[in-house]
Chains A and B, each alone.
Chain A
Amino acid sequence: QQPVQSPQAVILREGEDAVINCSSSKALYSVHWYRQKHGEAPVFLMILLKGGEQKGHEKISASFNEKKQQSSLYLTASQLSYSGTYFCGTEAGGTSYGKLTFGQGTILTVHP
């Protein structure tokens, strides 16, 4: 099942903060975050693994609540370059391991 992202869209001024949420109805092994700019391929931001390990860019932070099957991406002091569509991808267990299912995306627009 597809994870649910919220909000669907965010509009910010440069320097403002934003939080993007991702929730799943399934037990998760990992959550992946990507950003996609118009007409380009999605670009990796971060992976959060069950057990607390994280891999990603230093300027991006995120959390993963394993009990609630929820993850949040924190964008602080936003820059114009942060604009794009953010996708979370979730990897569930059982026969679904290795399969990454993406949410519908959150459109982030940063204005000067």
Chain B
Amino acid sequence: GAGVSQSPSNKVTEKGKDVELRCDPISGHTALYWYRQSLGQGLEFLIYFQGNSAPDKSGLPSDRFSAERTGGSVSTLTIQRTQQEDSAVYLCASSLSYGQFSGNTIYFGEGSWLTVV
């Protein structure tokens, strides 16, 4: 696609429910990133994928968070048993390739705004 596409754009869910956030990266981009941004805060790294594998999952806040990527394309971030502190914008980004000295531009999607009530 022309840009990174995320869905849903907005999600209101009840505490304790599970949610799935989807990211469709730019066609041909092998690297995919998930970040979280709470209101007025910076960009918190969650996880990134090189192809279908995730070499660094250290940013996932708890075991309620998981992510997968299939076919080297679409990625899904799943939050189980949502809590109010999970409310944030979840940003997905992709880049052409990965690796040292890659210097590839990372393109962000518009984000999925999650509100847990």
Residues of A within 8 A of B (CB): 2, 29-30, 32, 34, 40-44, 47, 49-51, 53, 55, 87, 89, 91, 93, 95-105
| The residue from B31, B44, B56, B110 contacting A41, defined by CB atoms under 8 A apart | B110
Interface pair A103/B110, CB less than 8 Å apart: no
With A41-B91, A41-B110, A98-B48 known to touch, is A50 a contact of B105 (CB < 8 Å)?
A: no
Main secondary structure of the interface of B (DSSP, over half): loop
Q: What are 12 sample pairs from A and B whose C-beta atoms fall under 8 A apart?
A: A2-B42, A40-B110, A49-B101, A50-B101, A55-B105, A87-B42, A95-B56, A98-B48, A98-B50, A98-B102, A100-B48, A105-B42
Interface pair B50/A55, CB less than 8 Å apart: no
Contacts of A41 in B (CB 8 A): 91, 108-111
Interface pair B56/A55, CB less than 8 Å apart: no
| CB of B45 closer than 8 Å to a CB of A | yes
| CB of B1 closer than 8 Å to a CB of A | no
Q: With the chains together, A17 CA to B42 CA distance in Å? A: 24
Q: With the chains together, A93 CA to B43 CA distance in Å? A: 20
Contacts of A102 in B (CB 8 A): 35, 42-45
| CB of B62 closer than 8 Å to a CB of A | no
B: number of interface residues (CB 8 Å): 27
With A40-B110, A41-B110, A44-B105 known to touch, is A97 a contact of B43 (CB < 8 Å)?
A: no
Determine which residue in B33, B43, B105 has the highest number of CB atoms from chain A within 10 A of its CB, and name it.
B43
Contacts of B109 in A (CB 8 A): 41
A85 to B, closest residue via Cβ? B42
With A32-B106, A41-B109, A96-B56 known to touch, is A103 a contact of B42 (CB < 8 Å)?
A: yes
